[in-house]
Homo-oligomer: A and B are copies of this chain.
Amino acid sequence: MLIVQKYGGSSVANAERVFNCARRISESYKAGNSVVVVLSAQGRTTNELIAKASEITDEPSKREMDMLLTTGEQQSVALMALALHKLGFPAISLNAGQAGIMTTSTHQNARFKRIETDRILSELDKKNIVVVTGFQGVDKYGDPTTLGRGASDTSAVALAASLNADICEIYTDVDGVYTADPRVVKNAVKLDEISYDEMLELASLGAKVLQNRSVELAKKYNVKLVVRSSMTDAEGTQVMAREFIKKGETNVENMFVNGVAIDKDVSRISAVGLKDEPGTAFKIFSLLAKNKISVDIILQSIGRNNSKDISFTIAKVNLNDALRVLNENLGSIGCEHISHDDKVAKLSVVGAGMATNPGVASMMFEALYNEGININMISTSEIKISCLIDEADAERGMNAVHDKFIRQASK
């Protein structure tokens, strides 16, 4: 088998942890596999480098930041190769240029163009464990680029896709994907398997296990992902196409819902007293789009007395911009006033079983009702239901909804 393993920054933060990972890598190698390892920078290295730059300027050139930051992963891969040597295994480290990871020139947010795998394949042929820098590439000028923070997952998936790897293992500090954040929900259950689509919904809803781009890429190239802990031997969670999910006892098909997620990075805006006539919604959302503000949930009240309201949610960071734009255009929109609330949270349940189980929405509403939690807005998709609730109710609501579904499913 050809295996790609990715270890995050905390998994390689010091010499002891580097050896932990090295032992795990060597187990796979000893079992007869070809192993490509993708690493992040050690622990807080990236933050320390950013701090060094900020002592010099608060408007750093993105190109120079990439020159600076790419050194972090290069240090990790060299140290890992040394640790593998120390354990008696042949290994070689490669930075993105050596590994042939070609990207666009958009520094700090580059996109993969292609991976020229010759060097990696020739090192694997020599029976080397190949240790590659995550998070980075080189552009057509040979200049280092980075793919955006947390992008080492994406590097691993891109390498797995290019090398046609049998599996891409993402080692992290949690031991898999849970039905909810186990730090918040005490009854959270680890999933054995989950589909790409559900993982994407969970990731976009604030479950920070895998970077979204990595899951999208895995789905596109059908790369089988496993998320597991670098600290324990627990089995982890497999992320794969829905049709490959086995119908076993512990798998997600027994549940209506695979995950519950909370997103507190959300604000609600309401445009109150709009004329009940065509074009009102268009005016509001084209204004926001022109100002690069993304809108999530949208809710429009039923017109009454020739007046209606439109409410929507946006990321907290865009709240001030959105309020300014809307208030400057109150007249042209034809709106009495704008109200807003930034003390809200979006509680969501995700599950492929939902579409064929019409009772899911009402079960969610019942759970919240039983806790006396008010629902401000509701939004639904094929595999997701989201409710906007008060931020103060977030943890309580999450536990209630989780227990409703996951306990129901276990019965």
Contact = CB atoms under 8 A, between A and B. Distances in A.
A64 B75 CA distance: 9
A75 B82 contact: no
A164 to B, nearest CB: 24
A44 to B, nearest CB: 14
Contact of A92 (B15, B57, B63, B97): B63
Contacts of A60: 82, 85
Interface string A78-96: 1101110110000011010
Q: Is the interface of A mostly helix, strand, loop or mixed?
A: helix
Nearest to A92: B63
A211 interface: no
A68 B61 contact: no
B95 A82 contact: no
A78 B65 CA distance: 7
A18 interface: yes
A146 interface: no
A64 B65 CA distance: 24
A18 B57 CA distance: 12
Interface in A117-150: 119, 141-144
The bracket for how many chain A residues form the interface is 35 or more
Given A56-B18, A56-B19, A75-B52, A143 B98 contact: yes
A97 B143 CA distance: 9
B75 A57 contact: no
A144 B70 CA distance: 14
Interface in A380-405: none
Interface string A274-318: 000000000000000000000000000000000000000000000
A67 B77 CA distance: 8
A10 interface: no
B86 A64 contact: no
A233 interface: no
Nearest to A143: B98
Interface string A86-117: 10000011010110000000000000000000
A41 to B, nearest CB: 10
22 contacts: A18-B56, A52-B75, A56-B79, A56-B82, A57-B82, A60-B82, A60-B85, A61-B82, A64-B78, A64-B81, A64-B82, A65-B78, A67-B74, A67-B77, A67-B95, A68-B75, A71-B71, A71-B74, A71-B75, A95-B144, A97-B142, A98-B142
Given A60-B85, A74-B74, 16 more contacts: A15-B52, A15-B56, A18-B56, A53-B79, A57-B82, A57-B83, A59-B86, A61-B81, A61-B82, A64-B81, A64-B92, A64-B93, A71-B71, A98-B141, A98-B142, A119-B141
